[in-house]
């Protein structure tokens, strides 16, 4: 397809017709991507970017095997699942074979949001309970039912938590309530859930489900401590609730050692419901809920069937089968282990070199770089993270930041990411951090020489050459300031000239 508009016209028309709610990466000077291949994306000028963001193009952008599978099936038939078709059955069998035996009933949907919404319906129908326990900073989708259980979203507004929603602390051992020096962080965090359950029962309410991402992405690349899921499941099931594992962002072998991220907790843990999406169709809209026969039968007994016009259609299932084939044929799980371990090793060397890096955490090709202004206090380096993202874009590396303070650099690239890609990312990051830290040191000396008594200044233009007052990031920071949550930034009182 030829280009219809210049980059500037595309941006202007987007703002006019699509609206501000659908924001782009890089609020200032966004990237216009016109094609992609494997782990690379190309802009309108033909410049190549290394994609470290996309956990959707799971086996690689425009993988020829996926494209061919979709094309071949589209030429034959695409219709809804009211008709018998082998693709749906074949895909359900292949998918179930990757999961524990108890999880054997599939409901096909089009997105992770649809999957999580259906999972809530299944959980509530199972025992007739209503309440949901979720984790702080969690994000489970864009539907109204999911915004209600996603503190990542509802706490950006009026913090209007619904009565049936209960928020447990994130099992974050780096900056959470119970840290790495705690003798049993898994038990301590699980006890927080138990406390919520007891308080809820005392008020006459009943827990339908505990829902969590198997590894929290929007919450800042959080890896729950071993044993946490088992303990929580025990507490939740004791009162008739179910455990929902959200694998929408982290499933399909991204962690390498396991096909599903919840399996890292051990063979003795099996969720009651698993939801999946994003990587499932490699960019094709495809998602699924998998559960037990017992829960499925309870849902069916309600008399309300579940039907989705496009869910599980022949083309989607052909695409899904191709993705499963590629994961196996190209040993992408093995690649996630090898390259992920190598990248983590390189990043830990950078941590020893750069004081801005407070923590490196992750598994396989799911890695977070927690940036701090002060390692002892673990003060989030929010503005610095935004600065780094833009500077890395100039180096043709696409990164993003998330977490409650937007200070965690996220690396979750297509699974075909290579060791050479890892080296390139780290080399560019090293250069950006070196220049940034030199600027911080020079500003520190300036502050000391002027005999200013305090050690920390607010960024007057945070960061000056990256964001203006109308960008989403700046608006969010202003909101935090009004709420008394404004984060003090490091000693960069002047526009960064890096």
pLDDT in tens, the chain (498 residues): 556 788 887 778 777 777 666 777 787 888 999 999 999 999 999 999 999 999 999 999 999 999 999 999 999 999 988 899 999 999 999 999 999 999 999 999 999 999 999 999 999 999 999 999 999 999 999 999 999 999 988 766 566 788 999 999 999 999 999 999 999 999 999 999 999 999 999 999 999 999 999 999 999 999 999 999 999 999 999 999 999 999 999 999 999 999 999 999 999 999 999 999 999 999 999 999 999 999 999 999 988 888 899 999 999 999 999 999 999 999 999 999 999 999 999 999 999 999 999 999 999 999 999 999 999 999 999 999 999 999 999 999 999 999 999 999 999 999 999 999 999 999 999 999 999 999 988 887 776 666 555 544 444 344 434 433 333 444 444 344 333 333 334 444 343 444
Q: Report the chain's C-alpha Rg in angstroms.
A: 23
Helices 332-353 and 419-449 cross at an angle (nearest 10°) of: 20
Alpha carbon distances (Å) from 340 to 49, 52, 257, 331, 411: 20, 12, 11, 14, 10
| Polymer length in residues for the chain | 498
* Long-range contacts, stretch 122-125, CB < 8 angstroms, 24+ apart: 122/242, 122/273, 122/289, 122/291, 122/295, 122/296, 122/298, 122/299, 123/208, 123/209, 123/241, 123/242, 123/244, 123/272, 123/273, 123/295, 124/208, 124/209, 125/298, 125/299, 125/302
Residue pair 382/427 in contact (Cβ under 8 Å)? The answer is no
List 216's β-bridge partners, or say none.
222
Task: Note the pLDDT of residue 156.
Answer: 64
Tokens 């998918």 sit on residue:
95
End-to-end CA distance of the chain: 37
Rounded to whole angstroms, the Cα distance separating 51 from 259 reads 22
At residue 256, φ and ψ (nearest 5 deg) are 85, -65
Residue pair 188/178 in contact (Cβ under 8 Å)? The answer is yes
Residue pair 371/407 in contact (Cβ under 8 Å)? The answer is yes
Tokens 């502050």 sit on residue:
447
**DSSP assignment of 458-489, as one string?**
--TTTTTTT--TTSHHHHHHHHHHHTT-PPPP
Residue pair 375/351 in contact (Cβ under 8 Å)? The answer is no
CA 217 centroid distance within chain: 3
pLDDT tens-digit readout, 44-81 = 999 999 999 999 999 999 999 999 999 999 999 999 88
What per-residue string of b and e applies to 258-269 under the rule 16 or more CB within 10 Å gives b? bbbbbbbbeeeb
Residue 14 φ/ψ region, left for φ over 0, alpha for ψ in the -120 to 50 degree band, beta for the rest: alpha
Torsion angle of C-alpha atoms 359, 364, 366, 368, degrees rounded to 10: 10
Rounded to whole angstroms, the Cα distance separating 169 from 261 reads 20
Task: Note the pLDDT of residue 280.
Answer: 97
Task: Note the pLDDT of residue 192.
Answer: 98
Tokens 């299944």 sit on residue:
122
| Among the listed residues 347, 437, 432, the one whose alpha carbon sits nearest the alpha carbon of residue 394 | 432
Within 10 angstroms of residue 495's Cβ, the number of other Cβ atoms is: 13
β-bridge pairing 242-246 and 165-168: unpaired
At residue 462, φ and ψ (nearest 5 deg) are -95, 110
Task: Note the pLDDT of residue 321.
Answer: 98
Residue pair 282/319 in contact (Cβ under 8 Å)? The answer is yes
Residue pair 498/439 in contact (Cβ under 8 Å)? The answer is yes
Strand locations in 328-402 (E): 357-363, 366-374, 379-380, 397-398, 400-402
Contacting residues for 126 by C-beta, under 8 A, at least 6 apart: 208, 242, 294, 295, 298, 299
């Amino acid at each position: 397809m030829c280009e219809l508009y210049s980059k500037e016209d595309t941006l202007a028309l987007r703002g006019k017709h699509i609206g501000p709610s659908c924001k782009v990466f890089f609020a200032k000077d966004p990237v216009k991507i016109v094609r992609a291949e494997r782990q690379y994306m190309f802009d309108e000028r033909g410049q190549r970017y290394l994609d470290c963001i996309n956990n959707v193009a799971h086996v690689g952008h425009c993988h020829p095997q996926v494209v061919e599978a979709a094309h071949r099936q589209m030429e034959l038939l695409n219709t809804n699942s009211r008709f018998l078709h082998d693709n749906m059955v074949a895909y359900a069998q292949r998918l179930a074979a990757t999961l524990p035996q108890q999880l054997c009933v599939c409901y096909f949907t089009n997105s992770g949001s649809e999957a999580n919404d259906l999972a809530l319906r299944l959980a509530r129908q199972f025992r007739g309970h209503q309440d949901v326990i979720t984790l702080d900073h969690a994000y489970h989708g864009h539907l109204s039912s999911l915004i209600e259980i996603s503190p990542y979203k509802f706490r950006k507004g009026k913090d209007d938590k619904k009565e049936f929603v209960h928020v447990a602390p994130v099992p974050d051992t780096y900056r959470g309530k119970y840290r790495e020096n705690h003798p049993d962080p898994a038990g301590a965090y699980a006890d927080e859930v138990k406390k919520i359950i007891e308080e809820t029962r005392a008020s006459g309410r009943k827990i339908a489900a505990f829902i969590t991402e198997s590894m929290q992405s929007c919450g800042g690349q959080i890896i729950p401590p071993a044993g946490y899921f088992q303990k929580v499941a025990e507490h939740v099931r004791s009162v008739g609730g179910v455990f929902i594992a959200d694998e929408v962002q982290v499933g399909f072998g991204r962690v390498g050692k396991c096909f599903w991220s919840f399996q890292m907790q051990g063979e003795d843990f099996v969720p009651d419901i698993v939801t999946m999406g994003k990587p499932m169709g490699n960019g094709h809209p495809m998602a699924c809920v998998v559960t037990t026969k017992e829960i499925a039968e309870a849902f069916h007994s309600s008399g309300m069937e579940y039907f989705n016009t496009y869910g599980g259609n022949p083309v989607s299932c052909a695409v899904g089968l191709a993705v499963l084939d590629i994961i196996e044929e190209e040993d992408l799980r093995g690649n996630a282990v090898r390259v992920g371990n190598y990248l983590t090793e390189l990043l830990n060397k950078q941590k020893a070199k750069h004081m801005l890096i407070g923590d490196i955490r992750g598994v396989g090709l799911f890695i977070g770089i927690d940036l701090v202004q002060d390692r002892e206090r673990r003060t989030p380096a929010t503005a610095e993270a935004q600065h780094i993202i833009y500077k890395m874009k100039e180096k043709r590396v696409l990164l993003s930041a998330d977490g409650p303070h937007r200070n965690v650099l996220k690396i979750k690239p297509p699974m075909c990411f290579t060791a050479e890609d890892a080296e390139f990312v780290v080399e560019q990051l090293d250069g950006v951090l070196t220049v940034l830290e030199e600027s911080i040191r020079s500003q520190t000396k300036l502050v000391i020489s002027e005999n200013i008594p305090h050690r920390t200044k607010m960024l007057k233009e945070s960061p000056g050459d990256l964001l203006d007052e109308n960008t989403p990031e700046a608006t969010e920071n202003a909101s935090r300031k009004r709420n008394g949550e404004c984060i003090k930034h490091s000693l960069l009182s002047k526009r960064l000239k890096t």
